[in-house]
Structure 1
Amino acid sequence: MSIRMKLGLGIAALAFTTAALAQTPAAKPTRIRGDIVASSGDTLTVHRKSGDTVKIALKADTPVTALKNIKLQDIKPGEFVGTAATTGTDGKLTATEVLVFPEAARGTGEGHYDWDLGPQSSMTNANVDQVVQGTSGRDLKLSYKGGSNSVTVPENVPVVTFAPATHDDLKAGKKVFVVATPASGGTFAAQRIVVEKDGVVPPM
C-alpha cells in the first residue's frame, strides 16, 4: 500500500471517528484541546484549555495527523468540508474554522450538529454547492443529507486540510486536538490525535 493511500485511509478514519462520536451521545466521547506537557511511551500528558491536566493512553497504532494552511480562495464548489461556526442573533452562521477534507473522506460525519468549541457553536460537514463573495468574507452554500445552510467565512478564519504526522511529532509544548474515551482513574484512551506541526495549530 502506498504512503499516499495509507494517509488517505487514516484521514478518512479520523474524520469518521471525530464526526461520528460527535453525533453519538451513547459513545460519550471527550474532545481534548490543549498543550502537550509530556509524551513518554504510551502516555500523553496534556494541559487542557479548561485548566486541568490529563493523562491520555496511546497505542502504537493510534492515528496521528497534522494540518496545513490553505487559502480561503482555494475552496471550490464540489469539495467536502467541515466547518465549526457560531450562530448570531440573526440566526446566521459565521465560521470559526474550515477543514477541507480529502476526497477519501467525502461524506463522513455528514450533517449539522452541536459542537463544543464555544457558546452557540455548531459543526457542519457538507458539500460546497456554491462560493459567493460577500461583504464580510465568503459565503459557502452547503448541502448535506437532510438539509442545507449558508456559512460566512471571514478572511481571518483558519482554513486547513490534513497533512502527514507521526508519534514523533507529539512533543512537549505542541498543541493537540484529541478524540478520546474516558478510562479508569480519570485518564483517557486516545482514538485520534491532530497535532500542531510547522506552526499550524488544530483550530477545531
Structure 2
Amino acid sequence: MKNLKTIAVALFVAVASISVNAQTKKIDTKASTIKWVGKKVTGEHSGTVNFKDGAVVFKGKKLAGGSFTVDMTSLTATDLTGEYQGKLNGHLKADDFFGTDKYPTATLVFKKIGSKAKDIYNVTADLTIKGITKPVNFDITVKGNTATTAFNVDRTKYDIKYGSGNFFEGLGDKTINDEFELAVALKF
C-alpha cells in the first residue's frame, strides 16, 4: 500500500510538471495578419481577412499547439477600390464562394507538430471553411513572440467551385485557380 501511494504521488508530480510547462499565448488579433491571393487566367486579386481569436501553445520553448478563429465577414480585396472592390467583396462573401452569412467564421486547429529545423515546425492542421473540415499541411517559423507561415488552400475541397476549370467547361479566360495562397503573421 505504501508503494502504491509513492507511485501515485510520483505520477501526480510528473503530470503536474508537464502541465506547468505548457503555456498558452493568445494572439494579438489587431497585430496578426492574414493576407490572401487568388489567381485566375487573366490576373489575380489580393486582400486580407482578420482573426477573431486564437492562441498558440508551447511546452517549454517548443511549439505544441494552436487554435484560431477567422472572421470571414472581414474578408476584403485590397487590390481594388470603390465600386469594383465592393462587387468583388460581395461576390467573395456570397454563397458560391465563402457564404459568410451562413458561415461567418473559419477555424484552424493544429493536430500534429514536428520539429523541422531550429525555429521551424511542420504542422498538420484541421482547416474548417463553410462547415467542411479538411487537413492542411504547412511549415511555420516561430521566433520570439511571432510566427509566420505561407501555404496554399484548395478551395474546391470546401465546396467553393465557382469558376473552377475542374468542374466547369468552356470558362476560357474566366477560369479561377482552385488554390488560393495565404500568408499569415502571428503576434502573441
Q: Same fold (TM over 0.5)?
A: no
Which is higher, the Rg of structure 1 or of structure 2?
2
Q: How high is the TM-score relative to the length of structure 1?
A: 0.23
Q: How high is the TM-score relative to the length of structure 2?
A: 0.24
